[in-house]
Amino acid sequence: MSIVEAFFTLEGQVAGYNDYIDCTPESFKKTLESLENLVGRVQQEAVFSKNESLKDIDTNHMKLLLIPCLEADVLYRMMDDRPERVRQCHVYYLEFLKLMKHYNLLEEGQQKKLKDF
C-alpha cells in the first residue's frame, strides 16, 4: 500500500469515529500506532524536506501534512490517563501549526498566537 493510500485509510478510520464506528480503546490505540508508523514512513521516504517550499510539495502528498491533526484527534478520544492525553494533543496540534508556519500558511495574527503557545 502506498503512503498516500495508507493515509486515506487512516483518515477514514478517524472520520468514522465521528459516527461512532468502532470507538473502542483498542481501536484508538491501533489507529494511533498506525499513524505513528505512517509518520515513520514519511520520514524514511523523505517525503518532505526542511528546505522546500509549499510549491515544491507533490500535490498527492499535501494531505500528509494533516497527520499530526489526525493523531491529536485520536488522542483526544482516549480516556485513559486523560491529562497526559490532552498534553499530547496539544503537542501534535502545535506540530501541525509549526508545519503551517514553515510553509507560510499562517496569517500574521496566527503566527503571533503561535508564539504565545
| Residue 117 clears pLDDT 80, i.e. is over it | no
- Residue 2: pLDDT above 80? yes
Task: Count other C-beta atoms under 10 Å from residue 29's C-beta.
Answer: 13
Mean pLDDT in residue range 52-64: 93
Burial class (CB in 10 A: 0-12, 13-18, 19+), 80: exposed
* Short-list 59, 52, 32, CA closest to 99: 52
Phi, then psi, of 50 in degrees rounded to 5: -65, -25
- pLDDT given at position 113: 86
